[in-house]
């Protein structure tokens, strides 16, 4: 009798408790291995009980139902975003990412491709509600039902007690892997801690001016670098006085170089250019949630990006020491070319903060020959070259930073632009589409270099080519696609294959030819390029090292690997909850390394390096408005 009374008084509570509990069970089953019914009950429903208890105090049934539905809609969208994001990036996104919702329009094609049909299960209840409301001819419920305050307060107190216990026991627990954290702590607890970290990140300790002056030596000490004298540095100044063209290749992975399909090279131009370049086959991406914009930031600063938000969004208002500013002191003009909207990822703030004299975005390039999210690479190079020629003809040194777009996910190169003939097995899947996009990128690069030579600019140019981030996410590929990659690579597609991006530096009239096997990250590009330019970095705060002259390396990665992940000359390591339960891979063979305990000092050192970088960024002064 009591149970029937409670059910009759609070039907919406039990309906939406069941609905949302099932949605969390469903979501967790897609995100995590294994389903724990009671864990889900404990870590997810406690917060809902707080909200439900408050809702149950509302006396009006109709208002109560609307609020329940709105809460259901919000949580369903949140769970969908988490699933879609994890599907491609392998990371559990935090709720503050909704602040970037204005960027969805630009990448909507990528988002739509990542939405799996099974996600419709999350929306079944809305379909049922819609049909029931359309089919029902009954009068609306009496709007003056008196709630049971004892029941509502009991639910509220239960939810508060359990959530307080959960937050208290987990507040000091550091779990490096976002997926493990969300599984163990609960999706909602993970989101709460994510928001807390986001709101308090700016309050991190800052360096004093004296400490900043000492920072370069501290970084060298932590990284265990012994500086060489200028006379000992290989290739120091080999490109001194050259104009610099750096091209950040969208979603370009290293495995594409030298790859062949039925004897046809995927990147014939780069394969040829490599013979007269310094090529680094063991370079790895280090971007955070800002993706392409983070790669731009890393290249121009040799600093680590943020782990929870796009660095350009957080630090675009800062005065940032940078590569363009170093070059300005040598009389260079710094330009950046990106055919997308400059406001995307807050680049209209980032570019001035980095010291670029001028940026060229879609307003300059127009809407001609659009591929995916912007004008084609062909348009990018064709329209940019005359701007560089003007500077060249006036004997003005320049640094031009190009950001390509045509290789952007979901890799839809028009048929009339594709010159890569693929077997039938590669057609109609993302691996084939990706290879076509890489091939097109290579073809347009070849055309651009030919035009530089024709314009008489090549011999006075240092060309820096590098990939910004992966294109093919290991966890989002289906078995047939993984089989195609295995056929192409000669081994299973590995996490390190995914994160490995190319770096190639060509000095027009020097014909340097070297394959440098040093392990490196994107933070190392600036110091390496600076060595070739003969540009000392003695008092410039940076976290990379010259890969030509300093072969012993240690660098970190976060976001796409858990915080605390590192690469050294032997292994790539990623923690799980902590160091002891992590995974390590041989950097050369990709085999799993079982005994990695001797590298714990590197784990501690990389956490210190990341903290130093964050603290330094927080210490930078803001621009005057």
DSSP 324-372: HHHHHTTT-EEEEEESS-TTGGGHHHHHHHHT-SEEE-HHHHTTTTEET
- The pLDDT value recorded for residue 203 is 47
Between CA 273 and CA 589 the distance in angstroms is: 26
- Please tell me what DSSP assigns to residue 72: H
- The pLDDT value recorded for residue 8 is 63
- The pLDDT value recorded for residue 94 is 76
Between CA 261 and CA 29 the distance in angstroms is: 38
Q: Which two tokens stand for residue 445?
A: 């690069």
Regions of the chain with pLDDT less than 70? 1-8, 35, 95-114, 134-147, 198-204, 625
Between CA 17 and CA 19 the distance in angstroms is: 6
Contacts of 397 (CB under 8 A, 6+ apart): 241, 243, 327, 330, 331, 332, 333, 391
Phi-psi domain of 369 (left: phi exceeds 0; alpha: psi -120 through 50; beta: other): left
What SS3 class is residue 399?
strand
Check if the beta carbon of residue 209 is closer than 8 Å to that of residue 224.
no
Q: Which two tokens stand for residue 305?
A: 């990006």
- The pLDDT value recorded for residue 38 is 75
pTM for the whole thing?
0.88
Q: What is the largest CA-CA distance in the chain?
A: 92
User: In the block, which residue shows the tokens 């597609």?
Assistant: 493
Closest CA to 350 of 392, 385, 322, 379: 322
CA dihedral 566→194→523→461, nearest 10 degrees, is: 140
Pairing mode of beta strands 514-515, 264-265: unpaired
CATH superfamily for domain 209-619: Alkaline Phosphatase, subunit A (3.40.720.10)
Tell me the domain boundaries of the chain: 2-202, 209-619
3-state helix, strand, coil in the chain (%, to 5): 55, 10, 35
Check if the beta carbon of residue 97 is closer than 8 Å to that of residue 289.
yes
Q: Which two tokens stand for residue 574?
A: 């990623």
- Inter-axis angle of helices 292-301 and 347-354, to 10 degrees? 10
User: In the block, which residue shows the tokens 């300005």?
Assistant: 328
Pairing mode of beta strands 571-574, 565-567: antiparallel
User: In the block, which residue shows the tokens 């949630």?
Assistant: 289
Between CA 349 and CA 79 the distance in angstroms is: 32
- The pLDDT value recorded for residue 198 is 67
User: In the block, which residue shows the tokens 């091209």?
Assistant: 247
Between CA 132 and CA 144 the distance in angstroms is: 22
Between CA 113 and CA 412 the distance in angstroms is: 11
- The pLDDT value recorded for residue 97 is 60
- Please tell me what DSSP assigns to residue 318: B
């Amino acid at each position: 009798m009591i149970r029937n009374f409670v059910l009759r008084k609070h039907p919406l509570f039990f309906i939406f408790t069941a609905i949302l509990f099932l949605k969390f069970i469903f979501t967790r089953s897609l995100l995590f291995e294994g389903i724990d019914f009671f864990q889900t009950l404990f870590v997810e429903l406690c917060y809902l009980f707080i909200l439900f208890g408050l809702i149950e105090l509302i006396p009006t049934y109709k208002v109560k139902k609307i609020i329940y539905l709105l809460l259901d809609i919000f949580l369903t969208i949140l769970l969908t975003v988490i699933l879609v994001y994890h599907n491609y990036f392998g990371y559990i996104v935090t709720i503050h990412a909704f602040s970037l919702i204005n960027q969805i329009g630009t990448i909507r094609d990528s988002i739509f491709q990542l939405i799996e049909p099974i996600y419709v299960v999350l929306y079944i209840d809305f379909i049922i509600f819609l049909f029931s409301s359309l089919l029902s001819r009954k009068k609306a419920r009496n709007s003056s039902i008196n709630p049971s305050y004892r029941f509502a307060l009991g639910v509220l107190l239960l939810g508060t007690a359990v959530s307080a216990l959960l937050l208290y026991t987990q507040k000091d627990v550091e779990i490096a892997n976002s997926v493990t954290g969300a599984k163990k702590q609960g999706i909602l607890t993970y989101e709460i801690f994510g928001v807390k970290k986001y709101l308090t990140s700016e309050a991190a300790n800052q360096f004093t001016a004296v400490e900043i002056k000492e920072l370069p030596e501290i970084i060298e000490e932590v990284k265990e670098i012994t500086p060489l004298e200028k006379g000992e540095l290989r290739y120091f100044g080999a490109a001194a006085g050259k104009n610099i063209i750096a091209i950040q290749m969208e979603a370009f992975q290293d495995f594409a170089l030298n790859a062949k399909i039925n004897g046809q090279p995927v990147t014939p131009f780069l394969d040829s250019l490599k013979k007269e370049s310094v090529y680094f086959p063991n370079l790895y991406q280090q971007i955070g949630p800002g993706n392409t914009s983070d790669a731009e930031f890393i290249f121009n600063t040799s600093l680590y990006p943020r782990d929870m938000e796009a660095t350009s969004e957080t630090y675009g208002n800062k005065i940032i020491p940078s590569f363009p500013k170093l070059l300005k002191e040598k009389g260079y003009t710094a330009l950046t070319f990106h055919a997308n909207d400059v406001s995307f990822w807050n680049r209209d703030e980032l570019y001035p903060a980095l010291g670029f004299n001028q940026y060229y975005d879609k307003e300059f390039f127009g809407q001609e020959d659009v591929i995916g999210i912007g004008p084609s690479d062909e348009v990018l190079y064709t329209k940019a070259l005359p701007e560089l020629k003007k500077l060249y003809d006036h004997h003005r040194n320049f640094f031009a930073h190009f950001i390509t777009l045509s290789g952007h996910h979901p890799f839809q190169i028009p048929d009339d632009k594709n010159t890569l003939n693929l077997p039938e097995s590669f057609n109609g899947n993302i691996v084939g589409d990706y290879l076509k996009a890489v091939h097109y990128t290579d073809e347009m690069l070849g055309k651009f270099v030919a035009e530089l030579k024709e314009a008489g600019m090549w011999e006075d140019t240092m060309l820096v080519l590098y990939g910004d981030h992966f294109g093919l996410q290991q966890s989002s590929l289906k078995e047939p696609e993984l089989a195609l990659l295995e056929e192409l690579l000669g081994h299973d597609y590995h996490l390190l294959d995914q994160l490995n991006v190319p770096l190639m530096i060509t000095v027009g009239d020097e014909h340097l030819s070297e394959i440098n096997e040093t392990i490196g990250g994107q933070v190392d590009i600036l110091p390496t390029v600076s060595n070739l330019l003969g540009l000392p970095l003695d008092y410039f705060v940076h976290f990379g090292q010259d890969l030509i002259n300093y072969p012993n390396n240690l660098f970190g990665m976060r976001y796409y690997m858990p915080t605390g992940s590192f690469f050294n000359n032997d292994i790539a390591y990623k923690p799980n909850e902590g160091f002891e339960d992590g995974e390590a891979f041989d950097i050369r063979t990709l085999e799993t390394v079982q005994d990695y305990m001797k590298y714990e000092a590197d784990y501690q050192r990389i956490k210190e390096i990341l903290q130093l970088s964050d603290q330094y960024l927080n210490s930078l002064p803001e621009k005057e408005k």
